[in-house]
Amino acid sequence: METSDDHYNKFHNYYLSYYGQTFQAHRPADIEELHSYLNKQINFKKGDKVLDAGCGVCGPAIYFAKKNKISIDAISNSEKQIETAQELISKNKFGEQIQLHLNDYHYIDRMFQSESFDKILFLESFGHSENKEDLLTASYNMLKFGGVLYIKDYFAAEVTGTEQRKLQMKKAVNNLEKYYCYYLADLYDTLKTCRILGFEIEFIKKPDFKLSNNNVVGAFEKELNIDLFGNEYMPIIVEPLEIKLKKVMKDKSI
């Protein structure tokens, strides 16, 4: 079965061609507007140590390093992404601020010491995890107390309606896994896990920017003959959300 690193290595040049240096589908027309928006939402502090989990080719990381006095450990399991990211980081002279790691982000608790980071970011990369509970646990352990976990991604929409509509939604979700190695997170399960771990919710909301009129995703999928719905009715299967959580000390008396 194809894995996410296989997928991104195989289609690396297509992603660069259609998405540029920021591999995110939910975006405004101006990618700098997206970067600025994310920078504001995450709210970096001087000296922050940041983990960009699923960094792509580091388009956002380079922007964050340019705008903030922070250090970033950026992880991707794709060799081609790391190669391109290294070229971009060298070109932009951010080698002192951004450290690249070719690895699986599920293993961050083996790569770094506990409580190493002030912020951990999943920018449309959380969905590639097949074991989100373990990933969230590792993220919690890697954050300092008071540290922030920020997730911008697609979550599964409720499967509702007629039996035909439900079947079509499930078919599209299965195709999302097949073509993209993408496993939509359930919002309620994600929040339950985070609360049990000891995260406090700062906010949950839809990204507050106007989407691009250019159908980048549609053009990309047409080029690669990807059809999630099999030329049938296209119900909404995803909900774009931002979740920002803070690691808080758990009350050991409970």
Q: Per the structure block, which two tokens stand in for 211?
A: 């989407």
| pTM recorded for the entire structure | 0.94
CA–CA gap between residue 195 and residue 245 (Å, rounded): 9
Residue 165: which H helix or E strand, with range? Answer: helix 163-180
Residue 237 has pLDDT above 80, yes or no: yes
Domain locations in the chain as residue ranges: 4-159+183-216+237-247
Of 246, 8, 242, 252, residue with least CA distance to 139: 246
Residue 253 has pLDDT above 60, yes or no: no
CB atoms within 10 A of CB 249: 8
Strand 49-53 and strand 117-123: the pairing is: parallel
Mean pLDDT over the full length of the chain = 93
Residue 231 has pLDDT above 90, yes or no: no
pLDDT score for 67:
97
Strand 238-247 and strand 143-156: the pairing is: antiparallel
Beta bridge partners of 155: 185, 239
pLDDT score for 210:
87
Considering only 36-40, 76-80, 224-228, which range has the smallest mean pLDDT? 224-228
pLDDT score for 230:
76
H-only helix segments in 28-104: 31-42, 59-67, 79-92
Q: What is the pLDDT of residues 195-204, one digit of tens each?
A: 999 999 999 9
pLDDT score for 202:
97
CA–CA gap between residue 153 and residue 97 (Å, rounded): 25
CA–CA gap between residue 245 and residue 147 (Å, rounded): 8
Residue 254 has pLDDT above 70, yes or no: no
pLDDT score for 234:
66
Give Cα separations from 51 to 10, 44, 115, 116, 169 (angstroms).
Answer: 25, 12, 12, 9, 33
Q: What is the pLDDT of residues 144-174, one digit of tens each?
A: 999 999 999 999 998 877 888 888 888 889 9
pLDDT tier at 48, thresholds 50, 70, 90 = very high
pLDDT tier at 38, thresholds 50, 70, 90 = very high
Superfamily of domain 4-159+183-216+237-247: Vaccinia Virus protein VP39 (3.40.50.150)
